Amino acid sequence: MASPVIFTELDACVEAVIRRVGTRLVIGTPLGIGKPNPLLNAFFRRASADPAIRLKIMTALSLEKPTWHSDLERRFLQPFVERVFGDYPELDYMRALHARTLPSNIEISEFYFKSGSLLHNDFAQQHYTSTNYTHVARDMLAAGVNVVLQMVAREERPEGVRYSLSSNPDVTLDIMPGLREAERHGRKVAAVGLVNNHLPFLYGDAMVEPGFFDMLVENAQYAHRLFAVPNMAIDPVEHMIGLYASTLIRDGGTLQVGIGNLGDAFVYSTQLRHSDNARYREILQRLAIRQKFGEEVAALGGTAAYKTGLYAGSEMFSDGLLHLYHAGILKRRVYDHATLQRLLNEGRLSESIGPETLATLLAEGVISRILSAADAAFLRRFGILQPDVRYDSGFLILPDGTRLVPDLGDRETLRRLGAEALGVRLAGGVLLHGAFFLGSGWFYRQLRAMPEAERRLFAMTAVSRVNELFSDVKLEQRQHRHARFINICMKMTLLGAAASDAVEDGQVVSGVGGQYNFVAMAHALKEGRSILLLKSTRSEHGRLISNMMWEYGQCTIPRHLRDVVVTEYGIADVRGKQDWEVIAALLNISDSRFQETLLVEAKRAGKIPGDYRIPDLFRENTPQKLHAGLKPFRQAGLFPEFPFGSDFTPEELRLGKALLDLKRRTSHWSGRLSTLTQTLFAPVTDPRYAPYLQRLGLDQPANLRERFTARLVVGALRQPLFPE
């Protein structure tokens, strides 16, 4: 590979790209934190200033700092944003998109939105691309991508400078072969990296040589802080969903789970299962989980602590998986050799190495009785032979220089190998294959602080490898034992179809992402299961509605791929079931305030017997009973709001709850009137409220408006929040 051109200035790099590919720029750039924001902004500025340039940016998950829409929101959010996000540069194209001021020569097309951020933005909605994560590279190439931009980490290594795609090898590794093929057929292309060593240097397929890029920008002034996702509060409903999901994971299995409250709730309960198993089992017993769903738990998962542990095959590597690693749960290593992996799965090999390791490999035909150069290379690769054992002209050269005929049928040879040449533990195993990562500041600091050997346990690779089974089917089936793919959805029909990306009129909330990939993998893997997590209800315009519905106008996962559904009221295993059985199982985990209405609709459609009645055991699915069941455990310190810490201060946490409750109460006229009455009598001089007013800069109000706002805040703080 040729050496890349190194730039220290963004604009010089932009001009070089335009000279190389022309004025029609179709830029593909990663989702999340892998975007080189300063470089993207430089291209945006250049195109904005020159209408002759046609710029199209294809990407996903364009991250933005929290914004405010009122003076009170600003007072609360601005100090937090400055503290947590620091110098993270905003994307100019997102500012223009929100302001509806995108120049006519610039087009933005995303395949996954930050959840809810672009609802009712006509341009964004019209230019959204609905595609599976694994098809993004294909679709970008078909759209004529000629520039790939990526933020990268840099490392000086004994073999020379290397770069890491770090957080986002996902699409980049998949698109580059096609991009280079297009280049050979005449497309003018450029692959450009922007170095930012705030990115942890990750290995696996993410580590690339300099020649991977045509150009690199290396200047410390562009090394901004990474976008950190704050931990949000986990409420009792989310904790119950996490608790149910934690019972569905098989020891010795495989896990995929994403970011967010429900993922964090699952991680918390999974840690509890492992670290305090007696208490965990007591909770399951006292909440009647065994009584209601013991059959599903026994068939799909378990409740014991983890002995073998889990391996993660998860497109997203985030805080939750790192917490499971620290808890000693993510500890099952997998190896990139199908027979070796099978022997480990069967217990015929262990990760500890001895002469019996060679005997087993010989019996299985993995190596020959008289070792060849290829055999020796294989044994060194997996640490079975020590790295300084060499092969030369039919001999093994031991560390002391002895030349040994490598005949495994010779007892003396085996003795010498066992005493002088064998390793101690298998090498090259990994705990996780991930395609991209995104997380909190804690998560990034943890990765950066790890020694190289530990970081290599987390192998970053192409999304096609993580989300599909096509690269090496036999190997991936053996690595992905008892796979559990945990994702969330927004709506579920009683026939088992899920809506996860869009609302009924087609407005896109987020995107398909990898959800369909994981559901398809769950059905393709003999031991795999897809688990969709769903809150049973939601509040919409002050009205409570059911997320379990008879029918819905959008579908992300079709009914023929239905599998396992978890709500705060339990588990429904609906794979391979008859339609009436699916309806019955989903009614059992629906909110009881909607069960009868849903049942009537199913009967009207002739999809369930006319005399069917929901069992009494499942007719008390109410928030009151849920809260009452969890209350003694929460009072004992279990199922906390922030099990993994928070970037908010204690004052901010209480203020945040109070202000959210204020927003909810003032969303309708009756609430506004009662709030106004309470505001007039709010005791603003009460010293208990002084720290909160000080945090908002309202402790010494300068005018009538600020005095009213201070009273509004105190009135909100006096409200009872989140009653059990």
CATH number of this structure's domain 236-333+432-618:
3.40.1080.20
Phi-psi region of 288 (alpha: psi -120 to 50; beta: other; left: phi over 0): left
3-30 mean pLDDT:
98
667-673 mean pLDDT:
69
The SS3 of residue 372 is coil
The SS3 of residue 33 is helix
| pLDDT class of 73 with cuts at 50, 70, 90 | very high
Contact 234, 642 (CB under 8 A): yes
Contact 383, 354 (CB under 8 A): no
Instruction: Provide the token pair at 607.
Output: 């999809």
The C-alpha angle with vertex 368 and arms to 364 and 374, in degrees rounded to 5, equals: 110
Q: Is the pLDDT of residue 662 over 90?
A: no
Q: Sheet of 491-493: strands edge to edge?
A: 498-499, 491-493, 548-549
Q: Is the pLDDT of residue 120 over 50?
A: yes
Q: What is the C-alpha separation between 144 and 57, in angstroms, rounded? A: 11
Q: What are the residue ranges of CATH 3.40.1080.10 in the chain?
A: 5-222
187-202 mean pLDDT:
97
What letter would DSSP give residue 376? Answer: H
Contact 348, 374 (CB under 8 A): no
Tokens 């969890």 correspond to what residue?
630
Q: What is the C-alpha separation between 107 and 55, in angstroms, rounded? A: 6
Tokens 């994307």 correspond to what residue?
91
Residue type, 116: G
403-411 mean pLDDT:
93
Choose among 234, 199, 457, 479: nearest CA to 324: 457
Choose among 83, 84, 25, 89: nearest CA to 63: 89
Q: Is the pLDDT of residue 675 over 80?
A: no
The dihedral over CA atoms of 172, 178, 180, 182, expressed in degrees to the nearest 10, equals -140
User: Which residue(s) pair with 546 in the sheet?
Assistant: 537
Choose among 411, 400, 362, 405: nearest CA to 384: 362
Residue 192 backbone dihedrals phi, psi, to 5 degrees: -125, 130
Tokens 């290995």 correspond to what residue?
203
Residue type, 182: A
Secondary structure string (H, E, C) spanning 172-227 = HHHHHHHHHHHHHCCCCCEEEEEECCCCCCCCECCEECHHHCCEEECCHHHCCCCC
pLDDT digits (tens, 9 = 90+) for 552-597: 999 999 999 999 999 999 999 999 999 999 999 999 999 999 999 9
What confidence score (pLDDT) does residue 671 get? Answer: 66
Q: What is the C-alpha separation between 344 and 39, in angstroms, rounded? A: 46
The SS3 of residue 51 is coil
Q: What is the C-alpha separation between 135 and 556, in angstroms, rounded? A: 16
Q: Is the pLDDT of residue 40 over 50?
A: yes
Q: What are the residue ranges of CATH 3.40.1080.20 in the chain?
A: 236-333+432-618
Contact residues for 98 (Cβ-Cβ < 8 A; gap 6+): 121
Q: What is the C-alpha separation between 129 and 544, in angstroms, rounded? A: 32
Residue type, 311: Y
Instruction: Provide the token pair at 23.
Output: 């004025």
638-643 mean pLDDT:
96
Phi-psi region of 245 (alpha: psi -120 to 50; beta: other; left: phi over 0): alpha
Contact residues for 124 (Cβ-Cβ < 8 A; gap 6+): 97, 108, 110, 113, 118
Contact 84, 647 (CB under 8 A): yes
Tokens 């709030």 correspond to what residue?
675
User: Which residue(s) pair with 192 in the sheet?
Assistant: 149, 215
Radius of gyration of the chain from its Cα atoms, rounded to whole angstroms: 28
What letter would DSSP give residue 617? Answer: G
Q: What is the mean pLDDT of the chain?
A: 95
Instruction: Provide the token pair at 271.
Output: 């840690």
343-372 mean pLDDT:
96
Q: Is the pLDDT of residue 724 over 50?
A: no
What confidence score (pLDDT) does residue 722 get? Answer: 42
Give the lowest-confidence range in 159-163, 202-206, 230-234, 712-716.
712-716
Calculate what percentage of the chain has a pLDDT beyond 90.
90
Secondary structure string (H, E, C) spanning 472-520 = CHHHHHHHCCCEEEEEECCEEECCCCEECCECCCCCECCCCCCHHHHHH
Q: Is the pLDDT of residue 307 over 80?
A: yes
Instruction: Provide the token pair at 359.
Output: 């005997």
Instruction: Provide the token pair at 61.
Output: 């998950």
Question: How far is C-alpha 284 from the chain's CA centre?
Answer: 27
Q: Is the pLDDT of residue 680 over 90?
A: no
Q: Is the pLDDT of residue 420 over 50?
A: yes
Q: What is the C-alpha separation between 555 and 574, in angstroms, rounded? A: 17
Q: How many CA atoms lie within 13 A of 466 on its CB side?
A: 36
Q: What is the C-alpha separation between 594 and 545, in angstroms, rounded? A: 8
Contact 682, 652 (CB under 8 A): no
What confidence score (pLDDT) does residue 489 get? Answer: 97
What confidence score (pLDDT) does residue 397 get? Answer: 95
Q: Is the pLDDT of residue 512 over 60?
A: yes
Q: Is the pLDDT of residue 87 over 80?
A: yes
The SS3 of residue 531 is strand
The dihedral over CA atoms of 690, 691, 692, 693, expressed in degrees to the nearest 10, equals 50
What confidence score (pLDDT) does residue 648 get? Answer: 93
Q: How many CA atoms lie within 13 A of 718 on its CB side?
A: 15
| pLDDT class of 137 with cuts at 50, 70, 90 | very high
| pLDDT class of 1 with cuts at 50, 70, 90 | low
Q: Is the pLDDT of residue 83 over 80?
A: yes
Give the lowest-confidence range in 111-120, 460-469, 661-670.
661-670
Calculate what percentage of the chain has a pLDDT beyond 70.
98
CATH class of 5-222: alpha beta
What confidence score (pLDDT) does residue 721 get? Answer: 56
Q: Are strands 254-256 and 483-488 parallel, antiparallel or unpaired?
A: parallel
What's the pTM value of the predicted model, to 2 decimals?
A: 0.94
Q: Is the pLDDT of residue 723 over 50?
A: no
Give, for 311, the enclosing helix (H) or strand (E). strand 311-317
CA distance from start to end of the chain: 63
153-168 mean pLDDT:
96
pLDDT digits (tens, 9 = 90+) for 531-546: 999 999 999 877 899 9
Q: Is the pLDDT of residue 470 over 60?
A: yes
